[in-house]
């Protein structure tokens, strides 16, 4: 048996409730978890949903905290955790995208609480034990079993009103989890198969959603795809793409999903090596022999962000990001040095089409 045929596979232990109108089952699911006092976290965009869900929880809901922000500032995590402890809460319902769920995870690192996640985007954080916090412009990430949401409620209804541009960015964020799972050094055959299917479902459903945001079937397919790709993220080692996006976000405070959307095709062009299984799966999933260029063209045609420049990055930032990213290694099909990474970032900064560098 060759080394690349050996693997370890561990199943994720959490509960997923998927459907339409499922958010109204929050109180029922809290009962299953044995939660007696709950705090709801959200960002401003999801505050109305969080308030409505708090109303279904009765006296068990002791606060709604709509203060979640991108990249989870450590100061906010500390303050929120103190509030949760002071209120005697033993559970958190995180309502929103990656920011709200990320804040709940940071609280769970500091206090003994169970998380129930109600995602409103395709970010995937709800399925993972991965946490991230930002302090003084540096984003730190890690994995801890206690931060993984114990129950995830996917409600397709909550995605129906997502703006087209954000839908594209968030969906590509989900696709990124699948892509990096294809070449992750610790991906099992099951994870690679799920990654390929998740990417295929996402790239198939996304154009329909953009053309007709009210297409419930396509929205359902896209949310299922995001869930599938998130399970891959939960159990495999992510590589250069995620490392790069975390540094860009923590250092420059770039929008998370939009940064993934711009960066992914360029990292794909670099890491999907010819003749490899990962490239073959990406070709099948995206339906084109040049999957990186094809994904880039589709994103642009659907109105997604094209460049890091439009997200707020400046030319002078390239050297700073290169230095931070290359200071530590990531487990990728190809090693990346300062010159190659600088070229990749410059193309992404300027909104140029990705090129195969092998």
What CA–CA distances, in Å, run from 24 to 30, 53, 57, 92?
A: 11, 7, 10, 16
* Contact status, residue 269 vs residue 356, Cβ threshold 8 Å: yes
Q: Do 40 and 58 touch, CB atoms closer than 8 A?
A: no
- Number of Cβ atoms within 10 Å of the Cβ of 154: 24
Mean pLDDT, rounded, for 228-250: 92
List residues bridging with 11 in a β-sheet: none
Average pLDDT over all residues of the chain = 94
Q: Is the pLDDT of residue 4 over 60?
A: no
Domains of the chain: 15-159 (3.40.50.1970), 164-350 (1.20.1090.10)
Is it the case that residue 135 has pLDDT exceeding 80? yes
What tens digit of pLDDT does each residue of 139-157 get? 888 989 999 999 999 999 9
Which residues make beta-bridge pairs with 93? 40, 116
- pLDDT tens digits along 281-324: 999 999 999 999 999 999 999 999 999 999 999 999 999 999 99
What confidence category does residue 223 fall into, taking pLDDT thresholds of 50, 70 and 90?
Answer: very high
pTM for the predicted model, two decimal places: 0.93
DSSP, collapsed to helix, strand or coil, labels residue 41 as: strand
- Asked whether the beta carbons of 126 and 148 are under 8 A apart, the reply is no
Decide if pLDDT at 70 tops 90.
no
Q: For 30-49, write each residue's pLDDT tens digit.
A: 999 999 999 999 999 999 99
């Amino acid at each position: 048996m060759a080394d690349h045929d050996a693997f370890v596979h561990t199943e994720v232990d959490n509960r997923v409730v998927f459907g339409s109108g499922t958010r109204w089952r929050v109180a029922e699911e809290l009962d299953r978890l044995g939660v007696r006092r709950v705090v709801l976290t959200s960002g401003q965009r999801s505050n109305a949903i969080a308030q409505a869900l708090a109303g279904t929880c009765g006296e068990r809901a002791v606060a709604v905290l709509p203060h979640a922000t991108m990249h989870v500032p450590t100061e906010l995590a500390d303050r929120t955790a103190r509030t949760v402890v002071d209120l005697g809460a033993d559970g958190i319902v995180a309502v929103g995208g990656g920011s709200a769920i990320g804040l709940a995870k940071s609280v769970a690192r500091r206090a003994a609480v169970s998380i129930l996640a109600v995602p409103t985007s395709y970010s995937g954080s709800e399925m993972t034990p991965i946490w991230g916090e930002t302090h003084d412009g540096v984003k730190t990430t890690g994995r801890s079993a206690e931060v993984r949401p114990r129950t995830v409620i996917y409600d397709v209804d909550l995605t129906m009103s997502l703006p087209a541009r954000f839908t594209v960015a968030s969906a590509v964020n989900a696709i990124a989890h699948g892509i990096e799972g294809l070449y992750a050094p610790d991906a099992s055959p099951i994870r690679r198969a799920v990654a390929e299917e998740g990417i295929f479902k996402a790239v198939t459903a996304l154009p329909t959603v953009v053309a007709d945001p009210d297409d419930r079937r396509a929205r359902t397919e896209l949310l299922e795809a995001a869930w599938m790709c998130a399970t891959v993220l939960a159990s495999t080692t992510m590589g250069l793409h995620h490392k790069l996006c975390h540094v860009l976000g923590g250092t420059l405070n770039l929008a998370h999903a939009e940064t993934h959307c711009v960066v992914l095709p360029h990292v794909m062009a670099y890491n999907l090596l010819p003749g490899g299984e990962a490239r073959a799966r990406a070709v099948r999933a995206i339906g084109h022999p040049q999957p990186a260029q094809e994904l880039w063209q589709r994103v642009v045609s659907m109105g997604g962000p094209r460049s890091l420049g439009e997200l707020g990055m400046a030319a002078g930032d390239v050297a700073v990001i290169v230095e931070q990213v290359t200071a530590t290694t990531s487990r990728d099909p190809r090693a990346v040095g300062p010159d190659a990474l600088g070229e990749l970032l410059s193309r992404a900064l300027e909104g140029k089409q990705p090129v195969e560098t092998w």
